[in-house]
Amino acid sequence: EVRELALESVLRKLHEEEGDEAKRRPLWLSETTVADLTNMAVHERHQQCLAKVLQVLCVLGSSSELLWKDGAKTLSQEEVLIHLLTLAENFTHSVELLCAAVTLASQLVVALVSSDHQDPGAVVCFAQWGALVRSCSAEDQPVEVKLMVAKVLVTCSSTLMTNPQLPLGLAATVSLWSSLFTLLQDEDQEVRDAASDFTCCVPAHLLSSDQSLYVAGVFLCPPAALDLGVGLLCEMFDLWGQLGAGLLALTQWLMGEEDDGDEDEAEEASCLDEEDFLFEKGELNLWAEPLQWVQLLHRHLRSLLARLGQNQAVNPDQVGRIQTQARAKLLASQQALDRLPALPQFCCSVALARLTL
């Protein structure tokens, strides 16, 4: 209880002075105290105290680079990042601790990418961090976790997601973009609005003249931010010399997750009695956003396809796999549509809308 109260006092004091001490560590917080805090973050076993000390380090880490101590030993960047990622993966049930660990790990990743002297061991952890961010943006996560991920993605967008050097590699970077697009379509308005803030961090030289006028000083609604984001990602694929890989990535998003739900849904619909015939307009409206997402992807895919040159290879094996998946989906959907009862637009409008889409 004493440790928790002390940490809460430090955190409150830091938040009060956050605007006054911009980019500078408070004078009352000595190097010895910071060393004690980092040492505590390594050894603390009480979850509430651990979450609080990580939150304190998040505030300190946003204004200056932290030197992590484990007793007399100074930890390497790799050791710190592994420790934070392990905490985040082991404490997914604690929202406060998970958010603090992921935020702190994200600050370290951004600092590493921006540094001239990267720890080679820590760079290997980038993919693990990207996978963690992706899992935290899932639809079933608590709103607090998704808001944290939105803030992380907005903060790191210019350093990681629109970096011409592709520091995380293509797969991890595309995964971050996918996480952003997932949040922009989240059912919670606050999450969507938070994710839309990434438009404020887009480097001006990456925007066309029309886009610059569109974005400058204006809050974009989530659908507009989503359209801008997909268009920007297509520009990045071109800048990275990865148009072929980008074409495949967007096509896979267009295909969606592989599932066997069509047959089950058609079976349920075919068993409906007359008494079950309902106008499911409320549920049907839920398909408005997926339809817009499909149309948006299709439009940008056509643009990418038109820019694909003769010398830009597309992996034929991946193309073949996607073609096979598309044919299987088409066949399954058509068979499921054929099994729907008469007048499906009245008795099973949701199943009809999904299968048609």
Domain match, 86 and 222 both: yes
Residue listed under structure tokens 């970077």:
173
Domain boundary among 240, 270, 287: 240
Q: Does 154 lie in the same domain as 46?
A: no
Q: Residue 80: is its pLDDT beyond 60?
A: yes
* Same domain? 235 vs 249: no
Burial 218-237 (b: 16+ CB within 10 A, else e): eebebbbbbbbbbbbbbbbb
Domain end, chosen from 51, 75, 99, is at 75
| 70 and 105 together in one domain | no
pLDDT at 246: 93
Among 190, 218, 240, which residue terminates a domain?
240
For residues 210 and 298, state if they share a domain.
no
Of 241, 329, 256, 242, residue with least CA distance to 287? 256
The reply to whether 100 and 183 lie within a common domain is yes
C-alpha span between 98 and 140 (Å, rounded): 15
Residues 12 and 135 in one domain: no
- Per the structure, the count of domains in the chain is 3
Please list the alpha-helical segments (H only) found in 205-343.
209-215, 222-239, 243-255, 261-270, 281-284, 288-307, 316-338
211 versus 153: which is more confidently predicted? Answer: 153
Please give the residue range of the domain that contains residue 308. 243-357
**229 and 93 housed in the same domain:** yes
42, 1: one domain: yes
Does one domain contain both 226 and 259? no
Residue 264 pLDDT more than 50?
yes
**Amino acid 324: pLDDT:** 94
Tell me: pLDDT of 146 over 50. yes
Kindly state whether residues 145 and 53 are assigned to the same domain. Answer: no
Domain match, 21 and 39 both: yes
pLDDT of residue 172: 93
Interacting residues of 315 by C-beta distance below 8 A, sequence separation 6+: 244, 245, 248
Contact at 8 Å (CB) between 182 and 136? no
> What pLDDT is stored for residue 259 in this prediction?
53
